[in-house]
Amino acid sequence: MSRRASDVYYGHMNTQIVAVDHAVPINVQTAENLSPLIGRTAEWIRENAGVDRRYTSQLNDDPAKLVAGIARPIIDQWGVPDLVIHAGTMPRQLLPDTSVFVMRELGLSGIPGFTVNAACLSFLVAMRTATSFIADGSHQRILICSSEFGTHARNFNQPESAALIGDGAAAMMLSATEMQVGIRHYAMESWPESAELAEFRGGGFKFQPTNPGTTESDNQFHMDGIKLLRFMAPKLTRFLRRFLHDCQLEWKDIDLVVPHQTSGSGMKLLHRLGIPSDKIVDILSDYGNCAAASMPMALSVARQEGRIQVGDNILLLGTASGLSIGAALVRW
């Protein structure tokens, strides 16, 4: 007798999400505030981007401090982690790794820390990575942190993408458990032929500050939203069909869908795929697209609103520049 993919475990221990929380900078930028910066009306921003407001950091703000502020109470309640994973797209600085600065803010030392960067899927991939570590017994309690300050990389000459981005952070504690909870199934696929449809070209070897060809635009986010959506939509449809088939589940078996908050068009696509509106966690209008922090922020909001119950099947679903699509079925 074959087992459902949702009943397959990764090792001798399961991984429980014992805590998740989120935070945002104090500054609010409404559609009206952003309108003159990108030359579009507030109504255009709400209609095309789906964002009414977003939170923005200041130049001297520290992403490590923002996420440490919510991670500290989690540690106080659940204990000191034996591994810290930072999950994000934009590092605090190139070296040392951002996890080091998060650990320093938290007063942690002598434990490992590193970053997982899979663009906007970073947190999902970090969860899968943490699950493997806990399953093989090498770690018992893992803290995953994400703090994204993408508003500083907005290109105001590209209103579509500039209207989407917000700043935010999320922290999650994962712990070993004998209960049959945590990630039950995971999948990710990438199509590199679309790499130029959403990119941040700077920050690496190609466009170094000393390169005479490097421009200000190379250190800003670029996106062709229309082409990206057309490229992604059929692949997402097939991906989800295979994912549910492998889990031997139907949409009626999924209690809640927690997606990466891509864009207004991206959220509407989920509805067109047949996912009931009351099962989708949509925080885009209030927070914007906070890159890798978006998915855990949405999960945190859903939990605070009482939308998640013990035993629920939660579908974490996201896309990322590349193009990549990833999903995890989590039993709460």
Which class for 292: exposed (0-12), middle (13-18), buried (19 or more C-beta within 10 A)?
buried
For residue 302, give the nearest of 275, 283, 277 by alpha carbon: 283
Give the orientation angle of helix 98-106 with respect to helix 63-78, to 10 degrees: 50
Distance CA 19, CA 34 (A): 34
Q: What is the pLDDT of residue 1?
A: 31
pLDDT of residue 3: 38
pLDDT tens digits, the chain, 332 residues: what are they? 333 444 444 455 799 999 999 999 999 999 999 999 999 999 999 999 999 999 999 999 999 999 999 999 999 999 999 999 999 999 999 999 999 999 999 999 999 999 999 999 999 999 999 999 999 999 999 999 999 999 999 999 999 999 999 999 999 999 999 999 999 999 999 999 999 999 999 989 889 988 999 999 999 999 999 999 999 999 999 999 999 999 999 999 999 999 999 999 999 999 999 899 999 999 999 999 999 999 999 999 999 999 999 999 999 999 999 999 999 999 99
Output the domain CATH number for residue 227.
3.40.47.10
Residue type, 248: Q
Instruction: Encode 224-257: b = buried (16+ Cβ within 10 Å), e = exposed.
Output: bbeebbebbeeebeebbeebbeebebeeeebbbb
Residue 123, judged by CB atoms within 10 A of its CB (0-12, 13-18, 19+), counts as buried
Q: How many domains does the chain have?
A: 1
pTM as predicted:
0.95
Which residues contact residue 304 at a Cβ distance below 8 angstroms, ignoring those fewer than 6 apart? none
**Domain assignment of residue 297, given as a range:** 1-332
